[in-house]
Every structure is written in structure tokens, then in C-alpha cells.
Amino acid sequence: MSVPLLDLRAQHALIKDAVLAALMPVIDDQAFILGAPVAKLEADVAALSHTKHAIGCANGTDALLLAMRALDIGRGDEVVTTPFTFFATAGTIHNVGATPVFVDIDPKTYNIRPDLAAAAVTSRTKAIIPVDLFGQIAEIEEIRRLLPSMPIIEDAAQTIGARRKIAGEWTMAGQTATIGTFSFFPSKNLGGYGDGGMMVTQDDALATRLKRLRVHGGLTTYLHEEVGYNSRLDALQAAALVAKLPFLAAWSAKRRENAAYYDAAFADLADVTTPYIDPANESIFNQYTLRVARRDELKKHLGAKGIGHSVYYPLPLHLQPCFAYLGYAAGACPEAERAANEVVSLPIYPELTRAQLDEVVAAVRGFYGR
Ligand SMILES: Cc1ncc(COP(=O)(O)O)c(C=O)c1O
């Protein structure tokens, strides 16, 4: 039996009626741009994230871009971030005209090291972008402790609904950042039927600015206070996401259950390190990522057995050809580079059956001769 890395059709089959019922009124109204479904999703995501504001936009990449623009980050500025993330985190820093400054990750959580982020700050640094990788929140409160007045843009594209205990209180992804950003890319825990994104903040002035930036920099028709973007969230996407949101908590809990199943099944394999979840975190396991010996051979073996898998991410961003101008050499971020050579992500989606989980387990155990 082959097992895909992700099976969106399996999820769609379970929620098809609810999603189609949500889409039809938008189609009947022919009101596709912003409007009630977007406002409803914004209210729902703000409630989930314990934030005062949520502002929908076209995708998670634009959410980062708009967040930086709202913080007046541009030419000559530096933004400190992790090299072990999806490209958008740093691509957007470049695209606002600023310089990405990469610092290494914690080898256990794969998230940015707050001490290294603080050490990289210069007079030009305008923000830190920690990424909540694979579903667990970065050490935002430690970054805040080290850099009390530095804006933090939390790239929570992979982490909507994840929680972190700070000083004994549960906080949500995006809640404690200056601006938090989400992606509704279909493979995310809350995925749309196309692209979508959202920004959350507790700050009234930033919220107004973000709303303005997503509609060409003007909240009054044909009056533009600044140059912004066309980065609206589609009403159809918002309607589908409103219909899906009530399922999110159960889906993420099922992913945690699947992760625990794998953890137990791989516990005796010396060549396999299962994901480390910081005790302060409740991960939503957007990815279940192993660190393994002989990674590339394991990949071949999984491929031959029909087990879906992927490497997130094979080349850290500081070594990407497009960032050669920044002058980073191999060895600059050794933990990110080591992770890139050793990680592999397995199917973790909530609709996996026990038989499929066992198939994945057997393939991995078989490779290591157990
Ligand atoms: C960490 C991270 N940042 C940003 C993005 C960009 O989101 P989008 O694909 O919605 O533009 C993604 C996902 O694709 C991501 O995983």
C-alpha cells in the first residue's frame, strides 16, 4: 500500500457538504472581493489567536511583506531571521529592500536561537522574524526579553492554533508578536481551496496600516495615503476557511496523536531522532520531521515502498544562490546546514488510517533493519 505525504482529497471528502454550502451564497451574491466572509474569518482567527485584530490578505508571503511595510522596514534596514525555513520568510525581507541577516537554529526544535538573534542586532536592525517551524512556536518571549523594544514578526504560517505556555499562561501563535502572520496554503493545517493569508496584531495603528496596505494604500476609494498592494483575501477562500475552522482543533489533535504513535514506534531506533517538542509548546505538527542517519538512502527506500516524504528544507536560505550577494559561506549556520542534510518529513495528516501509519512505520523500521 502506498501512503501519500498529504491527502487533501481524503479531507475534502469529509467536509465537502459544509464547504460547498459556504461557497454557494458567495457565488449567488457574486460578491467576491473582501466583504462578509472575510470579516467573519478575521473575527474567528482573531478569537482563536487571542489578538485584537486579524487582517486577511492574499497569501502568507504577502502577510510577511505587508507586516514589514507596516513597520516601515525598507532600504538600508536589516531583519534578523532563521535560514531554516520556507523561502518566503527571507524573500520578503529582500523584496521590501531590506537585508536578511541569518542566524543559526536550535538543533532540537529547529527554531531560531534567541541569543544568536540578539547578538546579530545592529543599529540598522528593524525587526526579528522568528519562524514557528513545523507547528511549534519559537521562543518569542525570550527574544522579547533580550530585545524588549525590537518589533517581532512571528512567521506562524505553519502554526495556526498552536500554543505556548509563557509564565504559566497558554498563549497562541501570533498572540505575543508585534505582528503574527498565517498562511492558508492548502497543505497547512487550516488550508484553503487556493492561496490565502492573514496577519494578526494587538496594535490598533498597525491594524489600520495593514488594512490600508492590502488595498493599494488607501482606505477611501481613489485616495492613496501611501503605495500599497493588491493583496486581498478572496471571499470564496474566506468562506471555505470559515467552514473549515471548526475542524482545526480536532485535526491538529489527531496529528499529535499520529505523532505520538510514530514516536513510540521509532523509540528504539538509534539512527532515528523523533521530533523534540519544547515542554512549553503544544505543537500542531504541520510536519512530522525525523532526523536520521543515511537520510538520502532512507529517502530512496521510502520512495521504492511508495511512502510519501519530503525534505523541509534541503538548502538553508543563507546558502541559496539568490543570496550569494550577502556573502555567507558554508559553515556560517552549522546547525541549519546539518539539519538540511539529516531531516525527512513523513505523512502526518489527520485522515491517516492505522494501517497507513503502520505501513510508514514498517518502511522506516525495515530500512534500519528492525
Ligand atoms: C514558514 C513559512 N513562511 C511563509 C510561507 C508562505 O506562505 P504562502 O505560501 O501562503 O505565501 C510558508 C508557506 O508556504 C511557510 O511555510
pLDDT values of the chain reduced to their tens digit, one per residue, 370 residues: 899 999 999 999 999 999 999 999 999 999 999 999 999 999 999 999 999 999 999 999 999 999 999 999 999 999 999 999 999 999 999 999 999 999 999 999 999 999 999 999 999 999 999 999 999 999 999 999 999 999 999 999 999 999 999 999 999 999 999 999 999 999 999 999 999 999 999 999 999 999 999 999 999 999 999 999 999 999 999 999 999 999 999 999 999 999 999 999 999 999 999 999 999 999 999 999 999 999 999 999 999 999 999 999 999 999 999 999 999 999 999 999 999 999 999 999 999 999 999 999 999 999 998 7
Q: Counting atoms of ligand 1 from 1, which one is nearest the CA of 62?
A: 11
Which residue do the cell numbers 477562500 mark?
A: 237
Is 51 close to ligand 1, i.e. is its CB under 6 Å away? no
- Is the CB of residue 63 below 6 angstroms from any atom belonging to ligand 1? no
Whether cis (ω within 30° of 0) applies to the bond prior to 313 is: yes
Question: What are the φ and ψ backbone dihedral angles of 363, each rounded to 5 degrees?
Answer: -65, -45
- Assess whether the C-beta atom of 81 lies below 6 angstroms from ligand 1: no
What span, in angstroms and rounded, lies between the C-alpha atoms of 347 and 255?
Answer: 10
Ligand 1 pocket test, candidate residues 87, 158, 193, most atoms within 8 A of CB: 158
Distance CA 282, CA 280 (A): 7
Q: Are 340 and 289 in contact (CB under 8 A)?
A: no
Taking alpha carbons only, the member of 9, 110, 91, 88 closest to residue 345 is 110
Other Cβ atoms closer than 10 A to 315: 15
Judge contact between 238 and 41, C-beta under 8 A: yes
- Placement of cell 449567488 in the chain: 28
CA of 155 to the centre of ligand 1 (A): 8
Q: How far is the CA of 63 from the centre of ligand 1 (A)?
A: 9
Cell 536560505, located at residue: 317
Q: What is the pTM of this model?
A: 0.98
Contact 331, 337 (CB under 8 A): yes
Residue 189 beta carbon below 6 angstroms from any ligand 1 atom: no
The predicted-structure confidence for 165-204, as pLDDT tens digits, reads as follows 999 999 999 999 999 999 999 999 999 999 999 999 999 9
Strand order in 163-166's β-sheet?
169-172, 163-166, 281-282
In this structure, the number of other CB atoms found within 10 A of the CB of residue 142 comes to 16
Query: Residue 17: is it exposed, middle or buried by C-beta count within 10 angstroms (0-12/13-18/19+)?
Result: exposed
Atom of ligand 1 nearest to the CA of 133: 1
Ligand 1 centroid – CA 352 distance (Å): 24
Q: Is 154 in the pocket of ligand 1 (CB under 6 A)?
A: no
Q: Phi-psi category of 26—alpha, beta or left, where left has phi over 0 and alpha has psi -120 to 50?
A: alpha
